């Protein structure tokens, strides 16, 4: 569909929405790119301004575009639509691109003996001493994620003396600069009840449902260098996955 | 690392595990392929049989391989490690490849006026009549997922008279055969408390934490043809995402 079908029962604003969505998905309008102005859409499709506005409102609600005051409508980037689990970017990097204020409070950091799940994920013998980093992240002032990262000792040592331990620098970026670049990761998601501790940190009642993400990241050599458990408040942070067809499907 | 380092403090079984993992990730051992026998690993790496067994046990726990009685160890396919959200395959197709018994009970199917979230996701005016399919899926006899699919009326009509409505055929496959092939999908995950109804269907207490997946699928033309809410018991079904680095990261 590339023009408005005047005989269709489908409201014009939805038809226009589909045309624009098709162009976004087809790559004609790229993520981050500014859309044509409302007046241009009015002229091109011979539609009233209120119809075009209704389309924009609906695309914005679906997070396909975002409106910037005095500048117009922009195609949403993946980052705009929350933390995308199928890419290797971290939570902080995503949300900062998203223009949300991220505050990080470091609860503890240092050498500790690794719990079983972390040791298994990192392919280390249970009880090996590793590096632990526990943090609470807030978005625009609201507690959003409680996370505990576990790393092999040599990986953790790259964090000594950095601003990561003060909550002022991205863990992902710092590890990357130290040569630990994520080549792949596996992330399991689950709905769980918040522990008393997590609940307190996230401003919830103990046992309240939260999203648990258990993530293992490895480098190109296949070595796992980070495992984390993150507990997220689904009402504060959107966590999503984009799926794409592959040939054998 | 391609040989066992006899001077290292790292146990041999973990060193061998890393070598095998590296070969799986590097593509030398392909998903579904049979690994060399235990005896071959013993010979190649000059290791005892108990060490090689320990490696296999540990790789199996990490779901990198699966052991088939009398046939040996096989590299796990993605499907073996749960429902992978970054691909477009459905739950049923995944779990059947996984050799788990899937039973589906259809709770309701037919034409209904679409709720707001479904209408928005399908880009239809609120209150449009669409097709609704509500099901409970069990895995090996355990209730695992409660899901409600919403489709535009014309898409749903392709299901009339099919075994999908009796819970005996894959919805994904049937839609695909009717020309509605998933080109892309967006899936949001959240931890939520089960409603009284969902709890009863899944054998949980009301309010117990479950994983909510809200998924919208579209075809190559950009038209959304299916929206579903699925509530999953994380203790019965593993739901995961594999992330891969892309160039700009």
| Cα–Cα distance for residue pair A94/A84, rounded to 1 Å | 8
| DSSP state letter for A107 | E
Give the tokens for residue A39. 């007046």
Q: Which residue has the higher pLDDT, B130 or B100?
A: B130
Tell me whether B227 touches chain A (CB under 8 Å): no
Tokens of A181: 């670049």
3-state SS of B77-134 is: CHHHHCEECCCCCCHHHHHHHCCCCEEEEEEEEEEEECCHHHHHHCCCCCCCEEEEEE
Mean pLDDT of A117-134: 90
Residue A177 has pLDDT above 80, yes or no: yes
E strand residue ranges, A114-223: 129-139, 142-152, 184-193, 209-218
Between A49-61 and A38-45, two packed helices, what is the crossing angle to 10 degrees?
A: 120
- The model's pLDDT over A205-222, given as tens digits with 9 standing for 90+, comes to 999 999 999 999 988 777
Place B79 in a pLDDT band, splitting at 50, 70 and 90.
very low
Q: Do A189 and B223 touch (CB under 8 A)?
A: no
pLDDT higher for B133 or B98?
B133
> What was the pLDDT predicted at B95?
61
B78 touches A at CB < 8 Å: no
In CATH terms, are B12-76 and B81-240 the same topology? no
Which chain B positions have a beta carbon within 8 Å of A122's beta carbon?
Answer: none
- A60 pLDDT exceeds 50? yes
A66 close contact with B: CB closer than 8 A:
no
B128 in A contact zone (CB under 8 Å): no
Q: Is B4 on the interface with A (CB under 8 A)?
A: no
Is the pLDDT at B14 greater than 80, yes or no? yes
Residue A247's pLDDT is: 46
Residues of A in contact with B62 (CB under 8 A): 120-121, 123
May I ask the CATH class of domain A12-76? mainly alpha
Q: How is residue B165 annotated by DSSP?
A: G
ipTM for the predicted complex: 0.72
pLDDT band at B33 (very low <50, low <70, confident <90, very high): confident
Q: Which of A188, A218, A244 faces B239 most closely, judged by CB atoms?
A: A188
Question: How far A107 CA lies from chain B's nearest CA (Å)?
Answer: 24
Number of Cβ pairs < 8 A linking chain A and chain B: 192
What residues are paired with A76 via a beta bridge? none
- Residue B77's pLDDT band, with cuts at 50, 70 and 90, is low
The upper half-sphere exposure of residue B214, i.e. CA atoms within 13 Å in the direction of its Cβ, equals: 14
- Whether residue B146 contacts residue B230, with contact meaning beta carbons closer than 8 Å, is answered with yes
Chain A partners within 8 Å of B24 (Cβ): 222
A18 interface with B at CB cutoff 8 Å: yes
Q: Comparing A61-75, A178-192, B110-124, which segment has the lowest mean pLDDT?
A: A61-75
B163, with CB counted inside 10 A (0-12, 13-18, 19+), is: exposed
| Shortest distance, CA B96 to any CA of chain A (angstroms) | 15
| Domain made up of A81-240: CATH architecture | 3-Layer(aba) Sandwich (3.40)
Instruction: Identify the weakest region by mean pLDDT among A13-27, A70-84, A152-166, B30-44.
Output: A70-84
Q: Nearest by CB to A191, from B85, B121, B192: name it.
A: B192
Lowest mean pLDDT among A59-68, A103-112, B37-46, B128-137: A59-68
Q: Is the pLDDT of residue A159 over 80?
A: yes
CA B43 to chain centre: 37
**Whole-number pLDDT of residue A12:** 92
The percentage of chain B sitting over the pLDDT mark of 90, rounded to a whole number, equals: 47
Nearest chain A residue (CA) to B22? A222
Chain B residue with Cα closest to A237: B190
What is the distance between the alpha carbons of residues A211 and B206, in angstroms, rounded to a whole number?
18
- What's the pLDDT at A22? 84
Tell me the domain boundaries of chain B. 12-76, 81-240
Contact check, Cβ <8 Å, A222/B188: no
List Cβ neighbours of B34 (8 Å cut-off, separation of 6 or more): B71, B72, B73, B74
With an 8 Å Cβ cutoff, are B249 and A191 in contact?
Answer: no
A238 burial level (CB within 10 Å; 0-12, 13-18, 19+): middle
pLDDT tens-digit readout, B134-163: 999 998 889 999 999 999 999 999 999 999
Contact between B43 and A236 (Cβ < 8 Å): no
Chain B residues with CB-CB distance to A184 below 8 A: 25, 242-245
Other C-beta atoms closer than 10 Å to the C-beta of B45 total 17
- CB of A7 within 8 Å of a chain B CB? The answer is no
Residues contacting residue A155 through CB under 8 Å, at least 6 positions apart: A131, A175, A178, A180, A225, A226
């Amino acid at each position: 569909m590339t023009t408005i079908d005047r005989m269709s029962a489908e409201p014009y604003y939805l038809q226009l929405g589909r045309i624009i969505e098709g162009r976004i998905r087809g790559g004609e309008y790229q993520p981050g790119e500014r859309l044509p102005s409302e007046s241009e859409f009015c002229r091109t499709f011979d539609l009233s301004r209120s119809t075009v506005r209704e389309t924009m409102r609906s695309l914005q609600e679906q997070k396909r575009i975002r409106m910037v005051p005095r500048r117009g409508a922009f195609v949403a980037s993946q980052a705009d639509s929350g933390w995308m689990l199928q890419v290797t970017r971290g939570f902080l990097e995503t949300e900062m691109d998203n223009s949300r204020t991220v505050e990080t409070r470091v609860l503890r950091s240092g050498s500790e003996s690794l719990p079983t799940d972390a040791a298994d994920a990192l392919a280390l013998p249970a009880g090996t001493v590793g590096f632990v980093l526990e943090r609470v992240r807030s978005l625009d002032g609201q507690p959003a994620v409680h996370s505990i990262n576990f790393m092999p000792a040599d990986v953790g040592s790259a964090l000594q003396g950095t601003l990561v331990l003060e909550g002022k620098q991205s863990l992902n970026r710092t590890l990357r600069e130290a040569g630990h670049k994520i080549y792949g990761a596996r992330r399991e998601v689950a709905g769980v009840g918040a522990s008393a501790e997590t609940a307190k940190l996230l401003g919830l009642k103990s046992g309240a449902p939260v999203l648990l993400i258990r993530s293992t990241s490895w480098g190109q050599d296949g070595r796992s260098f980070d495992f984390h458990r993150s507990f997220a408040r689904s009402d504060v942070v959107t966590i999503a996955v984009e799926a794409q067809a592959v040939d054998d499907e």
